[in-house]
Amino acid sequence: MNQDLVERVRQELLRARKILLTTHQNADGDGLGSELALSAYLKGIGKDTLILNPDEPPERYRFLDPSGEVRFFDETSGPALVQGCDLIITLDNSSLHRLGRMEQAVRNSAAVTLCVDHHSTTDPFWGVNVIDESACATGEMVHDLIKALGGTLDTASAIALYTAMVTDTGNFRFSKTSPRTHRIAAELLAKGVDPGRVYELVYEQQAEGFVRLMGVALSAFRLEQGGRLGWIALSRRQIMDCGAEQADTSEIVNHLFAIGGVRVCLLFKELPDGKVKVSLRSKGSIDVHQVATTYGGGGHQNASGAVVEGPLESAVARVVADASALLA
């Protein structure tokens, strides 16, 4: 990590009286794990720290926050909480629009702003940017930052950062998984992380409705481009009939990679407002991120997402056509 940048971050942390940590809407393991680990470090050096996110995360990540440190923005008290901070740090997110209901409050703030992220798109809003596109996860960067600042990790922070890395690498199989990734993971295990327990809590606590929905989804997948592109579309009716309204469905799409020859997978989920959430996945050098960004989304080369205009059938037609162009 660049030493000059580390010193800039150190100075901003020292000057700050109240620090707000946040991440993107629908926080994932990387965003939450990074927030909680960095918050623990900041509290350890005597800083008044607030974690405030746009909305509640999926149930499967609640184990990371047993004390309920993470708060959720609401229109009544949220703006005042944001205005009460003089340093805002966004983790795993550089796009203001991905702050959802928090966006305007952050725009209106006079606080110093700092972004720590491993995505390729950086919003010019942030005053200080700590960006590393080669990192497998923002959690990897937070690990490096804490160490560069002279901090240490307790077991809870090690679990948070391990969860950040294991979820954002697809259990250490995505392309940005590096030798350094595994060295850091080994260090975190030595701090007391139980990898089997983390896997169980993240991936084996699904509701019955989710499993039923997964069966519906996999029974109706479609293949295009000579079997190189697979897609699944889930309507509101299917979701409701399975009792899976609150389910995080993004992982379902990865099961299509079990089919030999599939290089790109898409999952379309119809939302209550008629819009369609699209999860895009790919293998190797195929860059689905470029498709996601055309619809205002984002993510990584091999794993991205976006919300597109409905109805479901037309959304499928548009995005499948765009993703098929990647295989031309």
Instruction: Give the pLDDT confidence of 54-93 residue by residue, as tens digits.
Output: 998 888 999 999 999 999 999 999 999 999 999 999 999 9
pLDDT higher than 70, residue 110: yes
Which architecture characterizes domain 3-202 according to CATH? Alpha-Beta Complex (3.90)
pLDDT at 85: 98
End-to-end CA separation in angstroms for the chain: 38
pLDDT at 121: 67
The stretch 237-249 carries a mean pLDDT of 90
CA dist 33 → 4, 76, 137 (Å) = 25, 27, 10
The stretch 237-265 carries a mean pLDDT of 92
User: Are 125 and 96 spatial neighbours (Cβ–Cβ below 8 Å)?
Assistant: yes
179-190 and 138-148 helices, crossing angle to 10°: 70
User: Are 36 and 146 spatial neighbours (Cβ–Cβ below 8 Å)?
Assistant: no
Band (299; pLDDT cuts 50, 70, 90): confident
Evaluate whether 3-202 and 208-325 have a shared fold: no
The stretch 215-233 carries a mean pLDDT of 97
Torsion sign, CA atoms 41, 92, 13, 19:
negative
Percent of the chain, pLDDT > 90? 87
Q: Which of 305, 255, 244 is nearest to 95 (CA)?
A: 305
pLDDT at 274: 95
Band (282; pLDDT cuts 50, 70, 90): very high
pLDDT higher than 80, residue 120: no
Describe the strand order of the beta sheet including 298-299 as a list of residue ranges. Answer: 222-224, 229-234, 264-270, 276-282, 303-308, 298-299
Comparison of pLDDT for 58 and 134, the residue scoring more? 134
What burial class does residue 80 get, using C-beta atoms within 10 Å of its C-beta: 0-12 exposed, 13-18 middle, 19+ buried? exposed
pLDDT higher than 70, residue 19: yes
Statement: the pTM of the whole predicted model exceeds 0.85: yes
pLDDT at 139: 98
pLDDT at 297: 87
User: Are 237 and 245 spatial neighbours (Cβ–Cβ below 8 Å)?
Assistant: no
pLDDT higher than 90, residue 291: yes
pLDDT higher than 90, residue 231: yes
pLDDT at 35: 98
The stretch 124-149 carries a mean pLDDT of 96
Q: Which of 187, 137, 183, 131 is nearest to 159 (CA)?
A: 187
4 Cβ partners below 8 Å, 6+ apart? none
Mean pLDDT, the chain, rounded, equals 95
d(CA 203, CA 190): 22
Q: Which residue ranges make up each domain of the chain?
A: 3-202, 208-325
pLDDT higher than 90, residue 180: yes
- Give the pLDDT confidence of 313-327 residue by residue, as tens digits: 999 999 999 999 999
CA dist 231 → 23, 178, 238, 253, 296 (Å) = 29, 29, 16, 8, 20
pLDDT higher than 80, residue 122: no
Tokens of residue 318, six digits: 């548009």
pLDDT higher than 70, residue 172: yes
CATH class held by domain 208-325: alpha beta
